[in-house]
Amino acid sequence: MSALILALASGAVIGLALGALGGGGSVLAVPALIYLLGFTPAAAGTASLVIVVVTSATALSGHAREGQVRWRTGLLFAAAGIGPAMLGGAVAGRLPESVLTGAFAVVAGVAAVRMLRSRRPSEATGRVRTGGAAAAGAGLGAVTGVLGVGGGFLAVPTLVGVLDLRMRAAVGTSLLVITVNSLAALALRTGTLEGLDWAVIAPFAGAAALGAWDGRRLAAKVSGQVLQRVFALVLLAVATCMLMGALV
């Protein structure tokens, strides 16, 4: 199968997940780039950030038009993560590939387990807990910078559980956080952009952006819990395979 077809197919799936769940799709971008398209872990992290920025910004615009983005909360959350995201982006290039792969697998596995165990609340108050937002935002920024993922698979549960947002608002707000954190992480990876295969990244990002629009519509028709559990099982399988590969 050609690299173009693999890039388009992978991008569509990742965009669909990101648009429907407000996160999670980007965590599959790194393994897709490594195992399907032959990128190194470091290059996959940088390429993933480019794809995540394009996709999350596209999905964010749709959620914003529907009034499902809590801008103050999201910007506070994201602001706390900008410094850690930039620092993580600088550190990532100095870590061995096996360490990056293993760390990614662990984070993805933890996220999958959290998704499988979480229960989405039917009611939420919308209160913003500043301390919780700052701490969680800093942690997610660091994950974004080092591993090249948007962090939405961790942001959505935090926005619901810590900041008491309703699920649809958490999905929209997480896209704002993802966009800001990913841009910050890219700022210190600009030196690695020239060596990337843009003939693969461009169609990947384009398909992901289109998939994000479909994902937003899918979220309105299918139970969020069903979508979340299916995605979590896929993510858990990918994390297991990556961890085994890093240890062998």
Counted residue by residue, the chain has a size of 248
Q: pLDDT of 207-224, one tens digit each?
A: 998 888 877 777 667 766
Name the residue type at position 33: L
**For the segment 103-112, what is each residue's pLDDT rounded down to a tens digit?**
888 887 887 7
pTM value surpassing 0.85: no
Has residue 248 been placed in a domain? no
Those residues with Cβ within 8 angstroms of residue 40's Cβ, 6 or more apart along the chain or in another chain = 34, 97
Q: Considering the domain boundaries, does residue 41 fall inside one? A: yes
Give the whole-angstrom CA distance, residue 65 versus residue 53: 19
Which are the contacts of 241, defined by CB distance < 8 A and separation ≥ 6?
31
Question: pLDDT for 41-81, tens place per residue?
Answer: 888 888 988 998 888 888 888 889 889 899 988 898 888 88
Residue 160 lies in a domain: yes
DSSP string, 94-118: TS-HHHHHHHHHHHHHHHHHHHHH-
Share of the chain above pLDDT 90, in %: 11
Among 224, 229, 16, smallest CA distance to 122 is for 224
Question: Is residue 77 in a domain?
Answer: yes
The pLDDT of 190-203, averaged and rounded, is 85
CA 193/CA 186 separation, integer angstroms: 9
Residue 237 lies in a domain: yes
Domain with 110 in it = 3-243
Number of domains in the chain: 1
Say if CB 201 and CB 10 are below 8 A apart.
no
Q: How far apart are CA 66 and CA 156, in angstroms?
A: 18
- Within a domain: residue 127? yes
Angle at 14 between CA 206 and CA 3, to 5 degrees: 60
Residue 157 lies in a domain: yes
